[in-house]
Structure 1
Amino acid sequence: MARRDTPRRPNNDGGPERTPDRRRAPQGREGSFLGRMVRRLIVWGGGVALLGVIGVAVAVLITARSLPSYDRLKSSQAGQMIVVRANDGSEIVTLGPSYGKWVPYSRIPEVMKDAMISVEDRRFREHWGVDPIGIVRSVMVRVQSGHWRQGGSTITQQLARNVFLNNSRTFDRKIREAVLAMALESKFSKNQILELYLNKVYFGGGAYGVDSAARKFFGHPGDQLTLEEAAIIAGLVKAPSHYSPTADAQAAVDRAKVVVETMKDAGNLTPAAAASANFDNVHLAAEQGQNSARYFTDWVLPQLDLVVPEVDQPIEVWTTLDPVAQRAATSSLQGNVPSGVQGALVSVDRDGAVLAMVGGTDYVTSNYNRATNAVRQPGSAWKLFVYLAALEAGYTPDDRVVDEPVTIQGWSPRNSGGTYAGPIDVRTAFAYSKNTVAAQLGNEVGFGAVANMARRFGITTPINTQPSMVLGTSDVRVIDMVRAFAEVQAKGTTVVPYGIRKVTTTDGEVLYSHRPETQQQLVPNYVAAAITDLLQTAVSTGTGRAAQIGRPVAGKTGTTSSNKDGWFLGFSSGITTGVWMGRDDARPVPGLQGGTAPARAFAAYMKVATAKRPPEPFETQLKLPQWQLEPDDEAMQANPDDYFYVDPNGNVVNQDGRRQGDGSGDADQQPVPQDENDAPPPAAANDDFLDRATGRQDSARQRQMSAPAQRPPRPGATARPLPPIGNPPQ
């Protein structure tokens, strides 16, 4: 077969073009599929990593720009700290997170800085918020041990978590924590970050920051820490509850020794200094226990909402509590209360400042405040209001009454012991707490008047007006009864118990200062003097003899039926105190009477509370108003011929019964005109006109209704109005 030659195309130089070889070259040398994939992964991975770095950088920059200023970070906190102080400035209790005083970086002891860096973040000065070497080391330990033994979080990350995040262990939280840490590093210096950390990290027991921890555990500020103390505090960060010196002192010391060794290994402590650390010289501050003062703070702190505006900064509440008086109140109550019985005590100064408050025998076992929350029957202590009403109505301590069986609206009260003394004076009836006399007085002045008197003197609980109310069947609070007796001591003027003197910030800025209440006169001075006379007699010779303390004391006992409650309330040298004892379930307590255990507890407390005060005699001299003077005394002060009174129609009536100017009666007793132009005197103005002019509408109406009918004036004496309710015995 002849060969066909393929024509050749000319080439560029005019010669025939060569036909290309259509056979493919071998492909093995151009690279495998796996190699190409690896290269692609590297390219794409690098691109993604670059994008990630860019994204992180952008996130860090954006986060850094949105971070608060350094001053705002200093003032931020996880909750409000409230330090409650007594009247001498001593700390009663700290509630909420305690941040103490802010310690600037320059004043933080070097041993504290070195200890914290050594144990928590040895490479703190080298990394930029996140420590890759620390993370790798943590992962290696995790692989070797099978669980996490070493954290990879830096001090900056811990600060970011404490300030901005929570403690959840999610991946998302760790990413945000890392971004925040780098943002903090980009905005603040290392010294600023360490200062923030040391003033905000939690050390247990509610203490945030080195100053709070130093004060809580060692009793002094955070800028005075020794090596041993700094090591103990630094060791708390890992497990505050486990290594707390107040919870386990030995565990705290063992952990602190590890911190000292870590400081030596990190080069922050010489071997000689590490060897000289002596933890036997460390003195722990006394732990603030759950003592009886917590009853007082539980009563005071809710009042903050009323006296200060909403603030989220740490505050200090300066109270009226007297530590010496509080300890005396606690011991006197615990030393006298019968077994299985609860008790309460409230003591106030003359201006209402609460000096001591005990709401139970043990705050740990029962934090129910019986001094302010419990309502119990006061028994005969309620007779304070019965006799106040009677004294205001015209009775005096020397007036005669009769202690005898009585029945009022079907109710027949009995005296303790079932005996009756017959005719006695008011003073004796009160001193020996005669129930029949109190019932008669209450019935005479009106049970509503007794209830009104109790309301006037600060009783806030419901009051019944049944006849038996005179014996204290209405429930009351201890603090209300103490207020009433304090108002008697204040000569019948208002006294409002209070517990907060001032509220300040930790820097001393005053947010609130107590202002005295405007005093109001509750009863006339002579009534307050008379009831003080009765109260003093009850202690000197009556049922309250066990309350004597060697100086003037005025007070009253109270015992309820079946001995369910025992009371003693009284005052001396400007201090008023009330004591209650009884069971929470209101079951009878054999032998419990106001004149026994409560009176003895009162005396034990008052001997301490008044020790530094001079004795004060009571003002018991009656200065009766003009209308209450005896008729014989009145006759010596005026001419009997000048006697007159006003009849119900408003006309002035002479002693012989004639109205002036009406032409009645004998002609020789009619007024003789001095001039023919003189006109007879006009009729007296009527009551309505006089009442409107003088503003005495209520009192005038009461005199008009009661005076002429109930107590006609005696001949030869100047007329006098009757007391508002009832008439004194003749």
Structure 2
Amino acid sequence: MKDPFYQKQKRAKSKTRLLEADAWLDSALYDGFKSAGRTYIKIQDFFSLFAVRGIKRFFVEIASDAMSFAAIGAVLMTALALSAMDATASGEFNRAEDYSVVFLDRYGNEIGRRGIRADDSVALSAIPDYMIEATLATEDRRFYNHLGIDVWGTLRALVSNVEGDSSLQGGSSITQQLAKNLFLTNERTLERKIKELFLAFWLEANFSKDEILKLYFDRSYMGGGAFGVVAAADFYFGKRIQDITLAEAAMLAGLFKAPTRYAPHVDLAAARGRANVVLSNLVDADFMTEGQVTGARRRPAEPIVRNDIAEAPNYFLDWAFLETKQLVGDSDEIGFIVRTTIDPELQDYAEDAIQTVLREEGDAFNVSQGALVAMDHDGAVRAMVGGVDYGASQYNRATNPTRQPGSSFKPFVYATVFEMTDYTPRSTITDAPVCIGNWCPQNYGRSYRGTTSIRAAVAASINTVPVRLSIQTGREPIADMAHRLGIQNDFPITRSLALGVASVSVLDMASSYAVFANGGCRATGYAVTRITTLSGDLVYDAPENTGCDRLLSDEVVLSMNDVLHAVNYGGTGGRAVVEGVPSAGKTGTTTSYRDAWYIGYTGNYVAAIWYGNDNYEPTNNLTGGRLPAQTWHNFMDNAHRGIEVLPLYGVEMEPRPLIIAEGEDAPGQAEEEAPPPTLTEAAAVKLLDLSEKMRQAQTGAGSGSLDQAAVPIPGSSESL
């Protein structure tokens, strides 16, 4: 046991140490604060030397705040321009559409072209001075004086636009426009504009003014698939750039900012008006006098006629061009001849069906756009309409999955039900109110039938029945069924999926219904059957359809054809019926009448039709059973004339007999010595190859031109 005196002494020493530490801490804090105070006074005295009072203080504060915001802006701009810095570090420019494709229809006749017309072989010094001056006067008058950004030109453009000048005053310099062409996209965002500014400075630092101008002349899109002024001169005027006149140069210079709007083959009057503005700019910029441009005003440019562009199936060609680029992959060749599935006669029927209905009844139903896809049972697309006017809008409404199908989605529900359960088209089910949580869908007309058959429910497009069935099967299998049959894009699996709350494309809907039409086999829509190089070398040949990639059992297909046949004969699709042509299909109408659909098929073709407005504005109570079904009828009525109407799989309805006009031979009744009216695919290909070899033997050339390679097949009408 320790001595109590010792314990007491130890506690006293500990207390003394604590008191000493406390005193030291207090002293240190006191001295520190006193030192800090003295330092602060010194700093205050120092900055007092720069004190500004009175009106000067106001300007100093403004300058200080401006510098602060400038520093913040610089940091923000640097952050947004990081990707642009990466682009300059790699040294890679945007890859141009570097394929040149000639498209043929299913019979071998040329129907259009896609890809680039580009030529950068002409030096800047060889381009006429008035072409250069017209471009500078219109696009960037101080090009040779600024460092990438024309501040005064931007202010001039802003003032002009505020005053309502419609002459397309541009605020971007030539260097900025080139930066966008070489590295960026056409999106209109603040981030892209900041990147554009950074890249403009980078171009000015790494290229001479003449090099920048040459790149601008070579890489700018000029409309009509032409990149650069050299290709544009050949495309629009059939001339070398060295040979164009002042009037033609003015028309070309007017294309840089709005090539599709002022392309002479799209709107010649607008192109000439724009060229006249360019001529005025030449005078205003002191490049020419009014007397020098008078002749060009009196004799405006005359572009060569290109009616083939307006008449081409452009929406189809855009889609076929994308498919072609996927099929050729990383081929070293840039020129191809592509045989497609399009049938020009059916394409005419499709365009006429859409345009006629919209012209006659579009205003009454407040609907402005329509789309149509028609295909064979194997997915070969024979006609495609992506909108009412390709010149006004190149957006393809037939291939973009942006619209809801409404009740035309219900066949996926019923196909799932027939596959997973013992239900048949004649099975009875209750049509009564049903809810999933707090969501309670209603039928059109808000009435209920009570006990009904599935066949009758499909024909009348009842809503409660597929919702009730989706509870039994689950919604995941329904989504899987839609994807299995042909819907390629993803969509959320919600309570309302059974009623078509998903985004689909017209093309995918046609492909999906083709599975019902062909007996249950996969039928993905396609456009290309054969690709060769300009010299005739085979790049791609579509495989022959030798078997069935079965997606549905025969029992399910028979049930689906039964119920969808009832839609046309006694249901909502009555307007689609073509006399003597067995058919089946389904109508579809979305909430607030924003989309109206009809997808149907016969023993010969499948066609999907959509109507709506691009801005998603509701129509005037338009349903799928009205204009879409009516359009489908008009198209199919024409499509089945003069051909053998085939029976519909699983439907007991006799098709009408083939009617032969007086003086024509019935199929199989022609004289034996007469040549066959059609060619098989193999014979057609051999004929093309033989014709090409004969031409090469005659000319001694080793490769053919675009025009020479497109050899039509006389008398051919065989499907490829």
The two structures have a TM-score, normalised by structure 2, of 0.51
5+ residue gaps, structure 1, are 1-77, 100-167, 175-203, 219-229, 250-282, 623-730
Aligned mates of 2:101, 2:459 — CA distance in 1: 47
* Structure 2 residue corresponding to 1:493, chosen from 515, 521, 529: 521
User: Do the aligned partners of residues 620 and 293 (structure 1) sit closer, same or farther apart at CA in structure 2, a change above 3 Å counting?
Assistant: same
- Alignment-mate amino acid for residue 369 of structure 2: Q
- Partner of residue 602, structure 1: 632
- Alignment-mate amino acid for residue 320 of structure 1: T
Could you report, residue by residue, the CA deviation over 1:342-371 in whole angstroms, capped at 9, with x for unpaired residues?
Answer: 221111112211111111111111111111
- Partner of residue 344, structure 2: 323
1:84 Cα deviation from its structure 2 partner: 1.9
1:242 Cα deviation from its structure 2 partner: 7.6
- Partner of residue 721, structure 1: none
- Partner of residue 97, structure 1: 117
Query: Does structure 2 conserve the Cα–Cα contact (< 8 Å) formed by 1:492 and 1:522?
Result: yes
* Structure 2 residue corresponding to 1:348, chosen from 347, 357, 375: 375
- Alignment-mate amino acid for residue 377 of structure 1: Q
- Partner of residue 294, structure 1: 314
Q: Equivalences for 1:23-38 in 2 at 5 Å?
A: none
User: Do the aligned partners of residues 243 and 484 (structure 1) sit closer, same or farther apart at CA in structure 2, a change above 3 Å counting?
Assistant: closer
Aligned mates of 1:489, 1:388 — CA distance in 2: 13
1:372 Cα deviation from its structure 2 partner: 1.1
SS for the counterpart of 2:479 is helix
SS for the counterpart of 1:463 is coil
User: Do the aligned partners of residues 462 and 511 (structure 1) sit closer, same or farther apart at CA in structure 2, a change above 3 Å counting?
Assistant: closer
- Partner of residue 324, structure 2: 304
2:487 is equivalent to residue 467 of structure 1: no
Query: Does structure 2 conserve the Cα–Cα contact (< 8 Å) formed by 1:336 and 1:598?
Result: no
SS for the counterpart of 1:412 is coil
Query: Does structure 2 conserve the Cα–Cα contact (< 8 Å) formed by 1:557 and 1:568?
Result: yes
SS for the counterpart of 1:289 is helix
SS for the counterpart of 2:117 is coil
- Alignment-mate amino acid for residue 626 of structure 2: T
- Alignment-mate amino acid for residue 373 of structure 1: N
- Alignment-mate amino acid for residue 422 of structure 1: G
Query: Does structure 1 conserve the Cα–Cα contact (< 8 Å) formed by 2:349 and 2:635?
Result: yes
2:440 is equivalent to residue 412 of structure 1: yes
2:591 is equivalent to residue 561 of structure 1: yes
- Partner of residue 559, structure 2: 530
Query: Does structure 1 conserve the Cα–Cα contact (< 8 Å) formed by 2:102 and 2:338?
Result: yes
- Partner of residue 82, structure 1: 101
Query: Does structure 2 conserve the Cα–Cα contact (< 8 Å) formed by 1:379 and 1:559?
Result: yes
Query: Does structure 1 conserve the Cα–Cα contact (< 8 Å) formed by 2:339 and 2:530?
Result: yes
* Structure 2 residue corresponding to 1:572, chosen from 597, 602, 623: 602
1:292 Cα deviation from its structure 2 partner: 6.8
- Partner of residue 511, structure 2: 483
- Partner of residue 403, structure 1: 431
Query: Does structure 1 conserve the Cα–Cα contact (< 8 Å) formed by 2:111 and 2:312?
Result: no
User: Do the aligned partners of residues 291 and 241 (structure 1) sit closer, same or farther apart at CA in structure 2, a change above 3 Å counting?
Assistant: farther
User: Do the aligned partners of residues 241 and 568 (structure 1) sit closer, same or farther apart at CA in structure 2, a change above 3 Å counting?
Assistant: farther
Aligned mates of 2:458, 2:525 — CA distance in 1: 27
Aligned mates of 2:475, 2:452 — CA distance in 1: 23
Aligned mates of 1:248, 1:556 — CA distance in 2: 44
2:561 is equivalent to residue 541 of structure 1: no
Paired residues, what number? 413
Aligned mates of 1:470, 1:79 — CA distance in 2: 44
Query: Does structure 2 conserve the Cα–Cα contact (< 8 Å) formed by 1:378 and 1:559?
Result: yes
* Structure 2 residue corresponding to 1:432, chosen from 453, 460, 467: 460
% identical equivalent positions: 33
Q: Equivalences for 1:211-250 in 2 at 5 Å?
A: none
Could you report, residue by residue, the CA deviation over 1:667-718 in whole angstroms, capped at 9, with x for unpaired residues?
Answer: xxxxxxxxxxxxxxxxxxxxxxxxxxxxxxxxxxxxxxxxxxxxxxxxxxxx
1:547 Cα deviation from its structure 2 partner: 0.8
- Partner of residue 79, structure 2: none
User: Do the aligned partners of residues 508 and 384 (structure 1) sit closer, same or farther apart at CA in structure 2, a change above 3 Å counting?
Assistant: same
1:406 Cα deviation from its structure 2 partner: 2.2
- Alignment-mate amino acid for residue 306 of structure 1: Q
5+ residue gaps, structure 2, are 1-96, 120-207, 215-223, 253-263, 270-302, 653-720
User: Do the aligned partners of residues 234 and 426 (structure 1) sit closer, same or farther apart at CA in structure 2, a change above 3 Å counting?
Assistant: same
Q: Equivalences for 1:372-411 in 2 at 5 Å?
A: 372-392=399-419, 393-411=421-439
Aligned mates of 1:292, 1:370 — CA distance in 2: 17
1:243 Cα deviation from its structure 2 partner: 10
Query: Does structure 2 conserve the Cα–Cα contact (< 8 Å) formed by 1:401 and 1:424?
Result: yes
Query: Does structure 2 conserve the Cα–Cα contact (< 8 Å) formed by 1:84 and 1:316?
Result: yes
Aligned mates of 1:600, 1:301 — CA distance in 2: 31
1:599 Cα deviation from its structure 2 partner: 0.9
User: Do the aligned partners of residues 466 and 315 (structure 1) sit closer, same or farther apart at CA in structure 2, a change above 3 Å counting?
Assistant: closer
Deviates more, 1:436-445 or 1:460-469: 460-469
- Alignment-mate amino acid for residue 526 of structure 1: E
Aligned mates of 1:515, 1:342 — CA distance in 2: 36
1:169 Cα deviation from its structure 2 partner: 12
User: Do the aligned partners of residues 305 and 540 (structure 1) sit closer, same or farther apart at CA in structure 2, a change above 3 Å counting?
Assistant: same
Aligned mates of 1:445, 1:597 — CA distance in 2: 33
Could you report, residue by residue, the CA deviation over 1:531-561 in whole angstroms, capped at 9, with x for unpaired residues?
Answer: 0111111011100111112211110000011
Could you report, residue by residue, the CA deviation over 1:292-323 in whole angstroms, capped at 9, with x for unpaired residues?
Answer: 72211211212233212423443212211111
2:391 is equivalent to residue 364 of structure 1: yes
Query: Does structure 2 conserve the Cα–Cα contact (< 8 Å) formed by 1:347 and 1:356?
Result: yes
- Considering only CA atoms, is the larger Rg found in Structure 1 or Structure 2? 1
Query: Does structure 1 conserve the Cα–Cα contact (< 8 Å) formed by 2:112 and 2:309?
Result: no
SS for the counterpart of 1:288 is helix
- Alignment-mate amino acid for residue 432 of structure 2: E
User: Do the aligned partners of residues 430 and 609 (structure 1) sit closer, same or farther apart at CA in structure 2, a change above 3 Å counting?
Assistant: same
Q: What RMSD, in angstroms, separates the aligned Cα atoms of the two structures? A: 4.3
- Partner of residue 645, structure 2: 615
Aligned mates of 2:227, 2:638 — CA distance in 1: 35
Could you report, residue by residue, the CA deviation over 1:367-415 in whole angstroms, capped at 9, with x for unpaired residues?
Answer: 1111111411111011101111111122111111222222333332211
- Alignment-mate amino acid for residue 314 of structure 2: R
Aligned mates of 2:210, 2:471 — CA distance in 1: 76
User: Do the aligned partners of residues 238 and 485 (structure 1) sit closer, same or farther apart at CA in structure 2, a change above 3 Å counting?
Assistant: same
User: Do the aligned partners of residues 304 and 440 (structure 1) sit closer, same or farther apart at CA in structure 2, a change above 3 Å counting?
Assistant: same
- Alignment-mate amino acid for residue 542 of structure 1: G
1:596 Cα deviation from its structure 2 partner: 0.5
Query: Does structure 2 conserve the Cα–Cα contact (< 8 Å) formed by 1:573 and 1:610?
Result: no
Aligned mates of 1:360, 1:216 — CA distance in 2: 26
Query: Does structure 2 conserve the Cα–Cα contact (< 8 Å) formed by 1:81 and 1:98?
Result: no
- Partner of residue 537, structure 2: 509
SS for the counterpart of 2:309 is coil
- Partner of residue 715, structure 2: none
Query: Does structure 2 conserve the Cα–Cα contact (< 8 Å) formed by 1:344 and 1:371?
Result: yes
The two structures have a TM-score, normalised by structure 1, of 0.50
Aligned mates of 1:617, 1:359 — CA distance in 2: 29
Deviates more, 1:368-377 or 1:401-410: 401-410
- Alignment-mate amino acid for residue 540 of structure 1: Y
Could you report, residue by residue, the CA deviation over 1:215-234 in whole angstroms, capped at 9, with x for unpaired residues?
Answer: 9999xxxxxxxxxxx9x999
SS for the counterpart of 1:504 is strand
- Alignment-mate amino acid for residue 341 of structure 1: S
Aligned mates of 2:412, 2:100 — CA distance in 1: 44
Aligned mates of 1:492, 1:440 — CA distance in 2: 25
